[in-house]
């Protein structure tokens, strides 16, 4: 899978651990912040990653800052981007299955590398509505309604 990644200074070390993990699995990584010394503010990281996913230059994105909140707030300003702040494996799976998240946001001050790898693996392996056939019609309608809200509010 083609994945865009980026981090501010607080998320950089966790990004590096996840990047190595994903490269070992054979994923293609577009690293927006390859060098810690050239620190990029969280608001730029979130915007750059969201734009790549929005334009189809990456299938999914994984972004990092201290809490995961800042980069996610920025990424969610882009139409069609559903960035989810995740701190557990359960949430990592379900943000994709239930909410069709296309960007995962992790906090370098909150999530340890071991847990982050498990979260990322769950999220990447999941697909929208997978495992919930009884809820698939509702989830599909909900996503369509979200897109209507986007169209109205993101003019």
Q: Return the DSSP state at 93.
A: H
Q: Give 120's contacts (C-beta < 8 A, 6+ positions apart).
A: 18, 21, 22, 62, 92, 104, 106
8-41 pLDDT tens trace = 999 999 999 999 999 999 999 999 999 988 889 9
Average predicted confidence (pLDDT) for the chain: 97
Q: How many CB atoms lie within 10 A of CB 155?
A: 6
59, with CB counted inside 10 A (0-12, 13-18, 19+), is middle
Catalytic-labelled residue, pool 45, 58, 62, 65: 65
27-79 pLDDT tens trace = 999 999 999 888 899 999 999 999 999 999 999 999 999 999 999 999 999 99
pLDDT band at 148 (very low <50, low <70, confident <90, very high): very high
pTM assigned to the model:
0.96
Whether residue 65 lies in the annotated active site: yes
pLDDT band at 138 (very low <50, low <70, confident <90, very high): very high
Euclidean distance between CA atoms 137 and 154, whole angstroms: 25
CATH fold for domain 2-153: Ribose 5-phosphate Isomerase B; Chain: A, (3.40.1400)
């Amino acid at each position: 899978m083609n994945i865009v990644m980026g981090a501010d200074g607080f998320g950089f070390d966790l990004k590096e651990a996840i990047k190595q993990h994903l490269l070992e699995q054979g994923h293609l990584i577009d690293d927006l912040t390859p060098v810690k010394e050239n620190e990029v503010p969280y608001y730029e990281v979130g915007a750059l990653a969201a734009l790549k996913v929005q334009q189809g230059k990456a299938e999914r994105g994984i972004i990092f800052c201290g809490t995961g909140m800042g980069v996610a707030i920025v990424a969610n300003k882009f139409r069609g981007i559903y960035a989810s702040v995740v701190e557990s494996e359960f949430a990592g799976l379900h943000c994709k299955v239930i909410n069709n998240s296309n960007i995962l946001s992790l906090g370098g001050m909150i999530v340890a590398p071991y847990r982050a790898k498990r979260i990322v693996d769950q999220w990447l392996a999941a697909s929208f509505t997978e495992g919930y056939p009884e809820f698939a019609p509702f989830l599909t309608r909900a996503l369509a309604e979200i897109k209507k809200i986007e169209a109205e509010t993101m003019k």
